[in-house]
Amino acid sequence: MEPGIIRKLDEVVVNRIAAGEIIQRPANALKEMIENSLDAKSTSIQIVIKYGGLKSLQIQDNGTGIRRDDLAIVCERFTTSKLQKFEDLSSIETYGFRGEALASISHVAHLTITTKTKDEKCAFKATYEDGKLKGDIKPCAGNQGTQITVEDLFYNVPMRKQALKAPNEEFQKISDVVSKYAVHNPQTGFMLKKFGENATIRTQAKSTVETNIAMIYGSSISKSLLKIAIDDDILQLQVNGFVTNVNFNLKKGMFLLFINHRAVDSTNIKKAIDQIYSLYLPKGSAPFVYLSIELNPNNVDVNVHPTKHEVHFLHEEEIIEKIKEAVERVLLGGNASRTFYTQALLPGAPEPAEVSKLNDSTGDKPKLDYKFVRTSHNDQKLDKFFGINLSRNASMNESTNNNEDLGGPLLTPKREKPTKETKLTSVLNLRKTVEDTCDRNLRTIISELAFVGVIDRHRVLIQYDTKMFLVATRVLFEELCYQMLLFNFENLDSMAFTNPLPLRELSMLALQDAESGWTEDDGPKEELAERIVEILISKAPLMKEYFNLSINADGMLESIPIVVQEYIPSMAYLPMFVLRLATEVEWDVEKECFDTFCREVARYYAKIAFTKSDMEYKWEVEHSIFPAIKQYLLPPKSFAKNGSLLKVANLPELYRVFERC
């Protein structure tokens, strides 16, 4: 067999291959252009995206601009103002330096540059194709700085275009790039929006890292930040950044890493930090981390990857160890500060004078017996004294299948969906209200509770420190479900009915219930049931998209959301839930719609009494409901006054009573 003939590739093919290595998707193109704008000392960067960046991607800055004489070669490969000889690579301190970004973009898109420098009287506009100037450079009106418009990205590389995600997902990747650079460059104002819509990201110039984190990622993260700072002369290392404390966690962690001001990935650094947090956070959760690492440029090789998202640097193990020590130090300090929350007056809390006495005690004085907290995972629960076996198997075997109340629809969980970041102002405001009204002292009690036992279908006993509390189960659980719906907005899993349920029949069942309030003056039940079905079908897309509650076009209920893991709501209350969705939810106003919808779903899910056997009910309360309450509930201040948590015993007080006997 004859060997193949080696031929030199056509220059156009070579350039497009090189472009494909650097510009993998719209977000890569934007990253390169943002870095060029920052190198040009811009204090304002505005980005407009159309169809996920595939139709149009425009970036405008107020930087130094490009000289007219340089426009002829600015899109040719290996043209740069930052690198003159190979040795300069060892101390490069700017973002772009190889002169490939604009050249690569011009080979896979239609590129237009409008630019003006401080000394020129007007702006100049130039169009490029395959790295070459197309037509003449034309004078035009314009402000100082540069505007770059990239249109029809990958128009000549159809396979690359087909491999990309949907426009919304591409926009999300673009948003992620802008978010990172906006946090790291608070001296520059960033604006990102879709064409014809309002801005999704907007930060002010001369801001701060903390402010931009709050603006972009939310106040719940910014309130939990702990500052990281390292200055090591031996390693020529400086680290500044923020991590969240151990009270805060995310389902999917956020890791923002910059080395010498370049956004990069480092599996080793991320793994080291995740190992630390695994000791503090629940399994399956992660922190928010922002780190800016500055090293001697001579110790960093940024030229190891076409997109420059990977770098190599000297003394990596020692530097990672330093970062781990700093993170551990701030987490321990932040964790200790939580003890101050118990100083405020709580239901049954000691008076300030008693608190001061406790604080005055030292390690030299022995702690009195009645001040010891007697809780242990090995302790027997209240049910043990009544000869009740609350194992999962026992509770399931002895329970009646309440899901057969409506003809035996079985519920099966669906696969989890990718996590989405919610940016709707109405939902963020509702979350903020929950956070602002949270009673931090009650949160301390709930987060550190020890479950004692179920009293009846309405109340549970818990222990906190040396105190015993009687808790209104349904009140706490309903508030938890409401909060879970808000904070898992757009990310709820669902339970699918094996046999979808007809909304019309459910509505008729509800109207026959006295709780519905139906009278003959309201009209025939059949007509009301049809109206309920019409309303819910018209709102089905909203319920499916945001809450994973699925209703098909034929008026069949296909699935309901999973609000709390290991918990299935009672089917007996499903008809009334359907009726109230149509009549009690404020569908016409966005914020009120989400608020009332979450309230109605929470009301339905919290109806846990009387429809399940004692065994099943008690198992769910102890092993599903209260672990979720302990981990997630942010109790409102009203719970301290409305009897939701009542102190029924205090060990020091009981000790004094028995002492007199």
Q: Model confidence over 517-543: pLDDT tens digits? A: 888 888 898 999 999 999 999 999 999
pLDDT value at residue 518: 83
Using the 3D structure, point to which of 332, 366, 390 is the last residue of a domain. 332
187 & 257 share domain: no
Q: Does any domain span residue 374?
A: no
Residue 465's alpha-carbon distances to 106, 247, 270, 636, in angstroms, are 67, 19, 36, 21
586 & 541 share domain: yes
Q: How far apart are CA 396 and CA 617, in angstroms?
A: 10
For 454-510, how does the pLDDT look when each residue is reduced to its tens digit (9 = 90+)?
A: 888 888 898 888 788 889 988 999 999 999 999 999 999 988 988 899 999 999 999
619 & 535 share domain: yes
pLDDT value at residue 98: 41
Least confident residue range of 171-185, 324-338, 524-538: 324-338
pLDDT value at residue 270: 92
For 37-70, how does the pLDDT look when each residue is reduced to its tens digit (9 = 90+)?
A: 999 999 999 999 999 999 999 999 999 999 998 8
DSSP string, 81-109: SS-SSGGGGGG--SS--SS-HHHHHHHHS
Torsion angle of alpha carbons 344, 346, 349, 353, nearest 10°? 30
Q: Does any domain span residue 229?
A: yes
For 104-140, how does the pLDDT look when each residue is reduced to its tens digit (9 = 90+)?
A: 888 889 999 999 999 999 999 999 998 889 999 999 9
Domain count, the chain: 3
pLDDT value at residue 41: 92
Q: Quick check: 192 pLDDT over 90?
A: yes
Q: How far is CA 309 from the centre of its chain?
A: 23
CA proximity to 214, closest of 288, 284, 292: 288
150 & 295 share domain: no
155 & 238 share domain: no
For 596-646, how does the pLDDT look when each residue is reduced to its tens digit (9 = 90+)?
A: 999 999 999 988 655 567 788 888 888 888 999 999 999 999 988 888 888
Q: Which residue has the higher pLDDT, 424 or 658?
A: 424
Q: Quick check: 359 pLDDT over 50?
A: no
Using the 3D structure, point to which of 303, 332, 361 is the last residue of a domain. 332
Is the distance from CB of 549 to CB of 561 less than 8 angstroms? yes
Q: Does any domain span residue 116?
A: yes
Q: Quick check: 405 pLDDT over 80?
A: no
Please, which pLDDT band fits residue 242 given cuts at 50, 70 and 90? Answer: very high
445 & 594 share domain: yes
Average pLDDT over residues 418-446: 89
187 & 231 share domain: no
Is the distance from CB of 586 to CB of 598 less than 8 angstroms? no
pLDDT value at residue 170: 94
pLDDT value at residue 310: 58
pLDDT value at residue 614: 78
pLDDT value at residue 497: 87
Q: Does any domain span residue 393?
A: no
Q: Does any domain span residue 408?
A: no
Residue where the block lists tokens 């509505």: 507
Q: Which residue has the higher pLDDT, 327 or 465?
A: 327
Least confident residue range of 352-361, 488-497, 507-516: 352-361
Q: Does any domain span residue 179?
A: yes
529 & 499 share domain: yes
Using the 3D structure, point to which of 300, 332, 364 is the last residue of a domain. 332
Task: Give burial (CB, 10 Å; 0-12/13-18/19+) of 391.
Answer: exposed
Q: Quick check: 659 pLDDT over 80?
A: no
235 & 136 share domain: no
Q: Does any domain span residue 210?
A: no
Please, which pLDDT band fits residue 304 given cuts at 50, 70 and 90? Answer: very low
79 & 126 share domain: yes
Please, which pLDDT band fits residue 353 given cuts at 50, 70 and 90? Answer: very low
Q: Does any domain span residue 160?
A: yes
Query: Percent of the chain beyond pLDDT 90?
Result: 44
Q: How far apart are CA 659 and CA 661, in angstroms?
A: 6
Please, which pLDDT band fits residue 228 given cuts at 50, 70 and 90? Answer: very high
Task: Give burial (CB, 10 Å; 0-12/13-18/19+) of 309.
Answer: middle
Q: How far apart are CA 598 and CA 542, in angstroms?
A: 13
191 & 265 share domain: no
Q: How far apart are CA 505 and CA 527, in angstroms?
A: 12
**Domain holding 15: CATH number?**
3.30.565.10
Q: Quick check: 301 pLDDT over 50?
A: yes
Residue 251's alpha-carbon distances to 287, 409, 429, 488, 606, in angstroms, are 9, 31, 21, 10, 24
Is the distance from CB of 468 to CB of 461 less than 8 angstroms? yes
Instruction: Kindly state the DSSP code that residue 309 receives in the 8-state scheme.
Output: -
Least confident residue range of 255-269, 368-382, 516-530: 368-382
Mean of the per-residue pLDDT values of the chain: 81
**Domain holding 223: CATH number?**
3.30.230.10
Please, which pLDDT band fits residue 349 given cuts at 50, 70 and 90? Answer: very low
pLDDT value at residue 16: 59
pLDDT value at residue 258: 93
195 & 309 share domain: no
- Full domain range(s) for residue 494: 425-648
SS3 for 370-394 is: HHCCCCCCCCCCHHHHHCCCCCHHH
Q: Quick check: 323 pLDDT over 80?
A: yes
Q: Quick check: 566 pLDDT over 50?
A: yes
Q: How far apart are CA 45 and CA 244, in angstroms?
A: 28
For 2, the token pair is 């004859």
